[in-house]
Amino acid sequence: MNRKYFLSLVILTASIFLADCSLPRVSITEATQTPAPVTVTPATPADTAAPTLPTAELGLVENPLILALPPTANSQEQIEAARLIADQFTQRTGYVVVTIVPESYAALVDALEKGNAHIILLDPYAYALAYKKDLVKATYAVLEDGDDKYGAQFIAARRGGFKSYFNPLTGMNTADAREALLQFTDKKPCWSDETSPSGYVVPAGYLNANQIVTRPAAFVEGHPTVVRSIYASGICDFGGTYIDARKFPSLENEFPDLMEQVIVVWRIPEIIPHNVLALSSKMPQGMRNLFTDQVAALMQTDAGSAAFKTVYNIDELQAVNDAYYDEFRTYVDESGVDLSSLVK
């Protein structure tokens, strides 16, 4: 089909069905002959959105691409900013893009499975689950304060006779994980909570991957509480926290000698990601490439950057692929935690 004819047809069809939609507009610097945008925001959640028509080509008005807002989106400002992003995608690519607000990340993964979401921001667990189901391709890592990933640490009380395999002067481990963690055999861990990546899931994955068998754990609700429990002794022998939970302000005031008495035994490298901007694997490769490029282009404009900040709280992105998250997925699997139970 002639491209101009196709684009004209999209405009005509959209004007019939969406005549009442009042959508935001944003100027772009490049000269363009692309059609006026067509975006809507269904009131229904992602998992109950009407299924796309399998006979229509993806990206047509009968089978639009779907931009999903975060499940936490609850303001008109976010909805309008998402419409602006969808509007710009349509202008720049010629494909029809609409928006939805899912009820939860679990609903968003379900929507991906049904073909009712294509451009999405996922938390680390939701991404890992969607990847495991072959539903997404990672496109961009969301940076927080310039960091793309973060690590964790195993801590223990010095008086417990544990040896540190971490050099605080260099910030480097002095032994491999198995050598350092073997001393936790038949010891009792304190974990933050059952969903914390740095306070339970990834540290437990390291223990299991290195065949370290421990006693039943105590979940003490919060990283500072893990540190307190180690300092007090008698509650547990070691624990896992973010780096460096020992410096939590109230802890330093409460226990002046804490940094000396609670030692870092071994640090988990920075393998835990922040949020992941991904595209549906149901999109053809060429289409994914096009939208990957357009995300970067939009982030270079003031209006686009502001819209991504409003909708997704994104300040900065780094281009990635799925291999970038291999270690994280490996240790989540090794933890033995049911991944679907982590996706809320």
SS (H, E, C) 12-58: HHHHHHCCCCCCCCCCCCCCCCCCCCCCCCCCCCHHHCCCCCCCCCC
Residues 92-142 have pLDDT tens digits of 999 999 999 999 999 999 999 999 999 999 999 999 999 999 999 999 999
Would you say 319 and 190 are in contact if contact means Cβ atoms under 8 Å apart? no
pLDDT band, residue 252 (cuts 50/70/90): confident
Instruction: Please indicate, yes or no, whether residues 90 and 118 belong to a single structural domain of this protein.
Output: yes
Instruction: Please indicate, yes or no, whether residues 136 and 159 belong to a single structural domain of this protein.
Output: no
- The stretch 34-56 carries a mean pLDDT of 43
Residues 306-340 have pLDDT tens digits of 999 999 999 999 999 999 999 999 999 999 999 99
Beta bridge partners of 67: 99, 119
Q: Which single residue is written with the structure tokens 């089978």?
A: 63
Beta bridge partners of 190: 218, 239
pLDDT band, residue 54 (cuts 50/70/90): low
Would you say 273 and 141 are in contact if contact means Cβ atoms under 8 Å apart? yes
Question: Would you say residue 183 has pLDDT above 70?
Answer: yes
Beta bridge partners of 143: 316
Instruction: Please indicate, yes or no, whether residues 12 and 140 belong to a single structural domain of this protein.
Output: yes
Residues 187-198 have pLDDT tens digits of 999 999 999 999
Q: How far apart are CA 298 and CA 276, in angstroms?
A: 17
Instruction: Please indicate, yes or no, whether residues 257 and 312 belong to a single structural domain of this protein.
Output: no
Mean pLDDT is lowest, of 6-10, 54-58, 248-252, 307-311, for 6-10
pLDDT given for residue 42 in this prediction: 42
Question: Would you say residue 297 has pLDDT above 80?
Answer: yes
Instruction: Please indicate, yes or no, whether residues 187 and 327 belong to a single structural domain of this protein.
Output: no
Instruction: Please indicate, yes or no, whether residues 117 and 256 belong to a single structural domain of this protein.
Output: no
Q: How many domains does the chain have?
A: 2
Q: Which pair of structure tokens corresponds to residue 216?
A: 């039943």
Instruction: Please indicate, yes or no, whether residues 257 and 157 belong to a single structural domain of this protein.
Output: yes
Instruction: Please indicate, yes or no, whether residues 278 and 138 belong to a single structural domain of this protein.
Output: yes
The domain that holds 205 is classified in CATH as 3.40.190.10
Question: Would you say residue 12 has pLDDT above 60?
Answer: no
Report CA-CA distances (Å) from 319 to 112, 141, 289, 324, 332: 21, 6, 12, 10, 23
- Domain endpoint, select from 273, 294, 317: 273
Instruction: Please indicate, yes or no, whether residues 223 and 320 belong to a single structural domain of this protein.
Output: no
Q: How far apart are CA 155 and CA 262, in angstroms?
A: 7
Residues 215-235 have pLDDT tens digits of 999 999 999 999 999 999 889
Residues 158-177 have pLDDT tens digits of 999 999 999 999 999 999 99
pLDDT given for residue 55 in this prediction: 62
- Domain endpoint, select from 250, 273, 296: 273
pLDDT given for residue 234 in this prediction: 82
Q: How far apart are CA 58 and CA 61, in angstroms?
A: 9
The 8-class DSSP code of residue 136 comes to E
pTM (2 decimals)? 0.83
pLDDT given for residue 34 in this prediction: 35
Q: How far apart are CA 40 and CA 10, in angstroms?
A: 14
Q: How far apart are CA 162 and CA 300, in angstroms?
A: 50
Question: Cα 251 from chain centroid?
Answer: 29
Instruction: Please indicate, yes or no, whether residues 255 and 301 belong to a single structural domain of this protein.
Output: no
- Domain endpoint, select from 234, 257, 273: 273
Instruction: Please indicate, yes or no, whether residues 202 and 249 belong to a single structural domain of this protein.
Output: yes
Instruction: Please indicate, yes or no, whether residues 234 and 217 belong to a single structural domain of this protein.
Output: yes
pLDDT given for residue 18 in this prediction: 34
**Which residue range forms the structural domain that includes residue 155?**
149-273
Express as a percent the part of the chain with pLDDT over 70: 84
